[in-house]
Structure 1
């Protein structure tokens, strides 16, 4: 394993692949460089003199500007680099790449009536409002692993509850966002059955969901068989006579829902039905070098199969948006991304923040210095294909190819939006370590370095740290794609084996609580 990596011939920095001691002498381009300070693994050190106020290059791109002169061999990090990025106002032209050669692959999935294909077969209990959240969880708690053996074709039952649903402007932005998210989960291809629970006096009523978002409530008399496949069995606590009556009846209704969902079995499906959500969380200095580029190869393979890939975390595209804009199918697509970034700048400034506040304490400890540096690594999850469309949060994604969804950088909220948009598979890179899971879509976790892969072996699926040892990103990406196909066909991920995903339904909403 090399002691350091230089990513581009023009770069001012190299990245340590192991802790390096002060005074260590490294040879770069035939000349010795003596380190002026200790360099932690994943961190940067200067291989060229950098003048104060001048750009600092990594990936062949500026990641910020030097706060003061940086001598060769010095640690390059937050103490001497600051972000200095400006988002373009308009996009006049784009340069989309040619489509990748077609690829034909298949997996074993669940064929749904609307033509979409699921990679899992879950039953969801959905709360229209926080006031019914506890009832939803109590109903789900009655269906433990032992009881669920009665329905062997069902992967499990989960509650999708949240913190809002009332005290919001009717049909305002916040209302639309939570309703879109709920509708996306209710109608998700990985959900073979659903039950909806409301209080009865909320703004986010079942009737609103039916009128605006295609979630048709079905109010059945007690004991009546649930026979309409196009409707969602619905209970309201006020009409049922309170919490205990709702829980008891909900349990009876959920048995019927499970009976119906259990009729679904896996059969061969074309890989064009895959909708891949790509995510990174707990990133470090290796994420943009190993795990994210390897996930980008998987994204390219899914697109080549005729499927869809969704990258999000708009705040973590800031500083790298020009790369996606240049690849956009049209200037209109690129302009929508630019407009979102301008909105985010205004949004965070209203609360006294700025987008460069995004890199977390853990990100910085892992070697990332600015949001631009983080974004340049994060955007590599998108691969190399043309950007076809940009979607609002939790909006149903219908385009094939690479897409962007507007989400925050907070992983649970970001993945929730993409799953609501239809993602039936998630690939999640991490450098610091993450134990994230998300029902109903399986989450494949990719470690950016071998140390993490071994240290958190129970939570990691794939080791992108092999790229540091010499395996090519292309080879890793192809191996990861094969693993993704096996997961789509039913192989369990680490988070599924650990039983994670019941508490990661975290819808993002914008607007006041009234």
Structure 2
């Protein structure tokens, strides 16, 4: 049965509207009835008690803001009457005992993955083509044009027939008004050519704007990120194009590869333009070696692997007021189940942990882990303030429109993706996950930068929750898009893989939704395509370690 409102934590002094509430609507929770004094849109919050200026507002059991002006019982919380506020945090207190979920039904389950020489298992099998510096992006594009279509990897829908139809209408004398009113239908692309290498999921071209200029630390971070992709279990091998004089030297990349995989044995073909001379020399060599690498990659096949070989990245983007009460806690349950099964989980987006620091500190397995989190969090926050910003400026206009009106409110809901298991490690970008359990990774809140980083740190599947809808994908790891609400899932079915609006609709519990997501993860890890892969959505943005929220 669907309720009108929800109270997330017993200590909260606000309710969340689960549907649009007109002015004068009586709502009941725990025997108390509150009547709305103004219209409350779905996903927004109404006061359970009168709030004077300066009074704390609590959601998820933590401080998410303070009243900027008086708010009456049943009144709506807005950016005009509420401002960002969080509690301070200190050293860890008594660490709570973790009650792992019952995962007996999944103990013997497997997925079909690609087993690598280092013992890791991939959920996909890609070949990478990577420039060491932005100067090589054009040559990367030349290689892409030469390889993708003829090898059977071109899959995007063509809209060119629409342009041809518009040209014909103009030539027939149609007016601007008639052109604007015509109903164009996207023509389906011609039948996809059969893949020459059926066991290779694709060739990914990781163009970027880095590698030179900036500071040397940018080059080091970029090489670390690229090494994370090259050594990733979803990757069979790589072709590298270097100009030769850039800050991001090939030797720097090789050092970063050795840090992550001392016994690295994948095919790695490196070409330097300033040594090879003409473009034709380099492109021809790159084509030959890439083709040979694809022949080797095609010899690999999917084989059963335990779920402990999964490393799941947790991400949210286009969040709304339902994110923290449907999709994020459902993903949190998946996180706890995977940890209980011996797998690894990555929770990132440090600006979206603002306000829940004490919980993270208390969940850390030891003081060293807690201290590293606190240090990275403080340094990040201080850097944002130093340039005239701050974590309080994190919510986007879309977040605010759909009920996330302070960063602390957004963060408290975003953190629920991490479940309740202990924090076993805190990593600084672009470090690699090396142990099972819940790992924290310092990244921006920006969707693509964070997703790019999580995969570079080892995530072989990403769970991405969204309340507003976003097509974000990744070049090598399947990004499962999870809707927080049913209207979104119905409105944008081409980009949504899983709907957890069923929790809001009263059709299932958070635990049931989480179990449904885990079953889907197993299918995806075994090769079932997600929407982002079908759309060839391969977003890749390295973080330059400047302030990015």
Q: Which category describes the TM-score, using the shorter chain as reference length?
A: over 0.9
Q: Which residue of 1 aligns with 2:205?
A: 159
Question: Distance between the aligned counterparts of 1:239 and 1:349, measured in 2?
Answer: 45
Q: Which residue of 2 aligns with 1:254?
A: 290
1:205 maps onto 2:210 in alignment: no
SS in 2 for 1:258: helix
Q: Which residue of 2 aligns with 1:497?
A: 534
Distance apart, 1:276 and its partner CA: 0.3
1:394 maps onto 2:405 in alignment: no
Bigger drift between 101-110 and 421-430 goes to: 101-110
1:476 maps onto 2:533 in alignment: no
Question: Distance between the aligned counterparts of 1:489 and 1:27, measured in 2?
Answer: 45
Question: Distance between the aligned counterparts of 2:4 and 2:54, measured in 1?
Answer: 29
2:338 pairs with one of 297, 302, 326? 302
Q: Which residue of 1 aligns with 2:488?
A: 452
1:105 pairs with one of 105, 109, 128? 109
1:135 maps onto 2:139 in alignment: yes
Q: Which residue of 2 aligns with 1:223?
A: none
Structure 1 residues 282 and 152: alpha-carbon distance in aligned structure 2, compared to 1, 3 A threshold: same
Q: Which residue of 1 aligns with 2:44?
A: 43
Checking the alignment, whether the CA contact within 8 Å between 2:197 and 2:298 is kept in structure 1 is yes
Distance apart, 1:213 and its partner CA: 3.5
1:381 maps onto 2:381 in alignment: no
Q: Which residue of 2 aligns with 1:438?
A: 474
Deviations 1:319-373 (CA, angstroms, capped at 9, x unpaired): 1122222111112111111111110111111210111000111100110111111
Query: 1:85-124 residue pairs with structure 2 within 5 A?
Result: 85-91=86-92, 94-97=95-98, 103-124=107-128
Question: Distance between the aligned counterparts of 1:152 and 1:90, measured in 2?
Answer: 53
Checking the alignment, whether the CA contact within 8 Å between 1:135 and 1:246 is kept in structure 2 is no
SS in 2 for 1:476: helix
1:362 pairs with one of 382, 398, 410? 398
Distance apart, 1:137 and its partner CA: 2.5
Query: 1:345-356 residue pairs with structure 2 within 5 A?
Result: 345-356=381-392
Distance apart, 1:92 and its partner CA: 5.9
Bigger drift between 66-75 and 442-451 goes to: 66-75
SS in 1 for 2:151: helix
Question: Distance between the aligned counterparts of 1:381 and 1:321, measured in 2?
Answer: 15
Structure 1 residues 107 and 262: alpha-carbon distance in aligned structure 2, compared to 1, 3 A threshold: same
Checking the alignment, whether the CA contact within 8 Å between 1:181 and 1:420 is kept in structure 2 is yes
Distance apart, 1:483 and its partner CA: 0.4
Question: Distance between the aligned counterparts of 1:372 and 1:366, measured in 2?
Answer: 15
Deviations 1:208-248 (CA, angstroms, capped at 9, x unpaired): 212343299xxxxxxxxxxx944510011222223343223
Question: Distance between the aligned counterparts of 1:25 and 1:106, measured in 2?
Answer: 50
Bigger drift between 30-39 and 197-206 goes to: 30-39
TM-score, length-scaled by structure 2: 0.87
Checking the alignment, whether the CA contact within 8 Å between 1:93 and 1:330 is kept in structure 2 is no
1:506 maps onto 2:538 in alignment: no
Residue correspondences, number: 497
Say what the alpha-carbon RMSD is for the aligned residues: 1.9
Distance apart, 1:176 and its partner CA: 2.1
